[in-house]
Amino acid sequence: MAKVFVIVEQRDGRLKKSTFELLGASAAAGNDTHAILLGDGVADLAKELGAYGASKVHVVQNASLKNYTAEAYCAAIAELAKSVGPDVILASHSPTGRDFMPKLAAKLNAGLASDCIQLGFDGGKLKVRRPVYAGKATVEVEFVGSGPQLATVRPNALGIPKPDSSRSAEIMSFTPSLGDLKTKVAEVVQGSSARPDVTEASVVVSGGRSLKSAENFKVLEEMADVLGAAVGASRAAVDAGFRPHRDQVGQTGKVVSPTLYIACGISGAIQHLAGMRSSKVIVAINTDPEAPIFQVADYGIVGDLFALVPLLKEEFKKTKEH
Amino acid sequence: MNIYVCIKQVPDTETKIKLNSDNSGIDTAGIKWIMSPYDEFAIEEALRLRDKNPGSTVTVLSAGPARVVETIRTALAMGADNGIHIETPESADNNRAAKALAGALKKEPKVDIVFTGKEAIDDGAAQVGQLTAEYVGIPHVTVVLAVEYGATSLKCKREIEGGAFEMVETPLPALIAAQKGMNEPRYASLPNIMKAKKKEVKALKESDIGTSDADQKIRYKNFQLPPAKQAGKKIAGDPATQAKELARLLHEEAKVI
């Protein structure tokens, strides 16, 4: 059994699903799972964490933790780690986790395995596998030397456990002495889109250059809205200016692993496949029967996306209503 | 200003990855090596900052085997002034590379700002920038799309999830990790390629810095290629039939909607 820290991620008072995945995986392995909840005025969120597998919740509050900064997070977590002594520290490979975990690793003189897609425990030690070359290969990570073992885990890679409301965690508060902080977040500018991020969504609908224009992505957006999906794009579509880079899926964009990935008019360049091949179910719609995307697709339709997608939207709507 | 850029040499994105015989790494034979694409934005930002501040220099650093000097030359051809190569083994992890880079930076008389790409596209770990900053003792801001430069501080637009941004303020010196879209990187002109051949690339060994195998924190082993996917189902018929059948399969067979 290992003593595991799971760094809780919340934004605007809402816990992220990826936190539940980490708690579930740690608890299922029988670990002493400590959820570390950082922020200001976030104590109310602590209760929910027990149901997902936390045995203890450390509520770490300070005005400087209201808006995330790597500096404040690392100072607080390192201080708590020194008193509690975790064997393992886990965070999501999210814009937040990937930013602060390397700094924390340096502070704790620890090794860090980033963006893991498999996570296990072996006699209190972490056993993880991660992609390299954007998923063209995967590797097992061996931690060498002493110190805690750190890992960030790709959202959606582990699956969300069923909450068990009969379980509750012991809730403790911790007041960090943060000292002088150099950096601060002056403002968080919200995105205009109500859609989920491609890296977090459980369904992603992506379009390629065959969409022909930015306006035509509306066809995909309408279907995505029925599915509660994010809208992604190939590099070709982003380079053509149809979508912003933040929506790009592939080796030079985001790497995603949703439950369902629907590729519309994407031929499947090697660098795109690298970014989405770990999706659980892949659907490809393309006019070219020889397109490489069909080699990774579980379900393929050779056809025109402009004819199919509006029909699919209606079919999905019916399925959802039943 | 003394401006530094940390870059990494990586296999081209079109590379088909093959494993070596004992699965302890990849077969590097025949690989076309390029500069990690995000580093190009870092270099461009550094060059623009230099040109706005007369008397400034841009120094490019890279840690890796002897072949990475070629990528340092590419950066010099884009317009960087100096290069530093720290020779580290192929198997060096992020921590060891960052310690090498930080060690080289600490040998410099003064560091005002360090740029790098938000991640390298080979390992994709997104660690070295933050580790280097911590070992140099300066703050970092990653995934940066725009910087407002003040005399002693910076205001950075950092991309987060869902199309949102954080406006992060940091004093100088600091390390900035560039996101695609920060600028439009220039191509090297022929005269600059010729000039780059004459520019100095300082060669450092790990022993000059004091890093070694002891700085290795993780090792990659048991490389695997993704399992070959079984041929998927092709759905035939007219569009209406195809749409109906796909929705049914996703609901009843795959159980994902």
Q: What is the pLDDT of residue A124?
A: 82
Q: Cβ of A98 and B216 within 8 Å?
A: no
Q: Which residues of A touch B257 (CB under 8 A)?
A: 203, 227, 260, 316, 319-320
CA separation for the pair B257, B253 (Å, rounded): 10
Which is nearest to A114 in space by CA: A148, A157, A150, A144? A150
Say yes or no to pLDDT of A178 above 80: yes
Q: What is the pLDDT of residue A78?
A: 98
- Alpha-helical regions (H) of chain B: 37-52, 69-78, 94-106, 128-136, 190-198, 206-209, 239-248
Mutation for testing the A interface, residue in B6, B13, B99 having most A CBs under 10 Å: B13
Q: What is the mean pLDDT of chain A?
A: 95
> What phi, psi does A5 have (nearest 5°)?
-95, 130
Q: Which residues of A touch B94 (CB under 8 A)?
A: 102, 112
Q: Cβ of B257 and A115 within 8 Å?
A: no
Q: Cβ of A139 and B224 within 8 Å?
A: yes
pLDDT tens readout for residues A57-70: 999 999 999 999 99
Q: What is the ipTM of this complex?
A: 0.95
Instruction: With beta carbons less than 8 A apart as the criterion, state whether A176 and A80 touch.
Output: yes
| Mean pLDDT, rounded, for A89-107 | 98
Which CATH fold topology does A3-174 show?
Rossmann fold (3.40.50)
Q: Which residues of B touch A255 (CB under 8 A)?
A: 124
| Mean pLDDT, rounded, for B26-46 | 97
Q: What is the pLDDT of residue A321?
A: 87
Q: Cβ of A113 and B218 within 8 Å?
A: yes
Q: What is the pLDDT of residue B243?
A: 97
Q: Which of A136, A140, A307 sits opposite B221 (nearest CB)?
A: A140
Q: CATH 3.40.50.620 region(s) of chain B? A: 2-215
Output the CATH code of domain A203-321: 3.40.50.1220
Give the helix/strand (H/E) hosting A227. Answer: helix A217-227
pLDDT tens readout for residues B62-73: 999 999 999 999
How far A168 CA sits from the closest chain B CA (Å)? 30
* Cβ-count burial A77-93 (b if 16+ within 10 Å, e if not): bbbbbeeeebbbbbbbb
How far B127 CA sits from the closest chain A CA (Å)? 5
Q: What is the pLDDT of residue A146?
A: 84
Q: What is the pLDDT of residue A134?
A: 87
Confidence of residue A286 (pLDDT cuts 50, 70, 90): very high
Say yes or no to pLDDT of A92 above 90: yes
Instruction: With beta carbons less than 8 A apart as the criterion, state whether A280 and A204 touch.
Output: no
Output the pTM of the full model.
0.94
Burial of residue B158, with CB atoms counted within 10 A of its CB: 0-12 exposed, 13-18 middle, 19 or more buried: buried
pLDDT tens readout for residues A208-253: 999 999 999 999 999 999 999 999 999 999 999 999 999 999 999 9
Domain boundaries, chain A: 3-174, 203-321
Confidence of residue B27 (pLDDT cuts 50, 70, 90): very high
Count interface pairs A-B at CB distance under 8 A.
261
Which is nearest to B138 in space by CA: A177, A182, A79? A182
Same fold, A3-174 and A203-321: yes
B78 Ramachandran zone, left/alpha/beta (phi>0; psi -120 to 50) = alpha
- Residue A255 token pair: 């790497």
Q: Which residues of B touch A141 (CB under 8 A)?
A: 218-220
| Mean pLDDT, rounded, for A72-101 | 97
Burial of residue A237, with CB atoms counted within 10 A of its CB: 0-12 exposed, 13-18 middle, 19 or more buried: buried
Q: What is the pLDDT of residue B128?
A: 98
Say yes or no to pLDDT of B231 above 90: no
Question: A202: nearest CA in chain B?
Answer: B256
Which is nearest to B20 in space by CA: B71, B69, B90, B87? B90
Q: Which of B123, B223, B246 sits opposite A283 (nearest CB)?
A: B246
Confidence of residue A11 (pLDDT cuts 50, 70, 90): confident
Percent of chain B clearing pLDDT 70 (strictly above) = 100
Confidence of residue B42 (pLDDT cuts 50, 70, 90): very high
- Residue B151 token pair: 């005399």
How far B189 CA sits from the closest chain A CA (Å)? 23
Q: Which of A185, A191, A278 sits opposite B167 (nearest CB)?
A: A185
Q: Which of B38, B167, B233 sits opposite A187 (nearest CB)?
A: B167
Q: Which residues of B touch A267 (CB under 8 A)?
A: none
Q: What is the pLDDT of residue B61?
A: 98
Question: B17: nearest CA in chain A?
Answer: A136
Q: Which of A84-93, A114-123, A153-162, B224-233 has the lowest mean pLDDT?
A: B224-233
With vertex at residue B246, the alpha carbon angle to CA B242 and CA B250, rounded to the nearest 5 degrees, is 175
How far B42 CA sits from the closest chain A CA (Å)? 15
Residue B130's Cβ-side half-sphere holds a number of Cα atoms within 13 Å equal to: 26
Q: Which of B122, B242, B248 sits opposite A132 (nearest CB)?
A: B122
- In Å, how far from its chain's centre is CA A285? 26
Q: Cβ of B127 and A314 within 8 Å?
A: no
Q: Which residues of B touch A17 (CB under 8 A)?
A: none
Q: Which residue has tokens 């595991």?
A: A4
How far B200 CA sits from the closest chain A CA (Å)? 31
Q: What is the pLDDT of residue A266?
A: 97
Q: What is the pLDDT of residue A7?
A: 98
| Mean pLDDT, rounded, for B1-9 | 98
| Mean pLDDT, rounded, for B119-134 | 97
Say yes or no to pLDDT of A193 above 90: no
Q: Cβ of A318 and B19 within 8 Å?
A: no
Confidence of residue B163 (pLDDT cuts 50, 70, 90): confident
Q: Which residues of B touch A277 (CB under 8 A)?
A: 226, 229
Hey, is B252 helix, strand or coil? helix
Say yes or no to pLDDT of A176 above 90: yes
Class of B2-215 in CATH: alpha beta
CA separation for the pair B119, B103 (Å, rounded): 20
Say yes or no to pLDDT of A115 above 80: yes
Q: Which residues of B touch A271 (CB under 8 A)?
A: 13-14
| Mean pLDDT, rounded, for B215-239 | 93
Which is nearest to A70 in space by CA: A106, A41, A46? A106
CA separation for the pair B107, A303 (Å, rounded): 61
pLDDT tens readout for residues A299-308: 999 999 999 9
Q: Which residues of B touch A298 (CB under 8 A)?
A: 229, 232-233, 254
Q: What is the pLDDT of residue B118?
A: 98
Say yes or no to pLDDT of A192 above 80: no
CA separation for the pair B42, A58 (Å, rounded): 38
Q: What is the pLDDT of residue A13?
A: 84
Q: What is the pLDDT of residue A91?
A: 98
| Mean pLDDT, rounded, for A275-283 | 94
Which is nearest to A206 in space by CA: A217, A215, A195? A217
Question: A151: nearest CA in chain B?
Answer: B125
Give, as one character, the DSSP assignment of residue B253.
I
Q: Which residue has tokens 């569009």?
A: B239
Q: Cβ of A102 and B139 within 8 Å?
A: no
Question: A241: nearest CA in chain B?
Answer: B181
What CA–CA distances, in Å, run from A260 to A220, A283, A286, A315, B16?
14, 8, 17, 16, 25
Q: Cβ of A307 and B239 within 8 Å?
A: yes
Preceding amide of B171 cis, omega within 30: no
Q: Which of B13, B16, B165 sits opposite A252 (nearest CB)?
A: B13
Q: Which of A195-199, A304-308, A314-318, B179-183 has the lowest mean pLDDT?
A: A195-199
Say yes or no to pLDDT of B230 above 90: no
Q: Give the number of other Cβ atoms within 10 Å of residue A179's Cβ.
A: 10
Instruction: With beta carbons less than 8 A apart as the criterion, state whether A302 and A265 touch.
Output: no
| Mean pLDDT, rounded, for B220-240 | 93
Q: Which residues of A touch B129 (CB under 8 A)?
A: 102
How far A20 CA sits from the closest chain B CA (Å)? 18
Percent of chain A clearing pLDDT 90 (strictly above) = 91
Q: What is the pLDDT of residue B162?
A: 83
Q: Which residues of B touch A283 (CB under 8 A)?
A: 246, 250
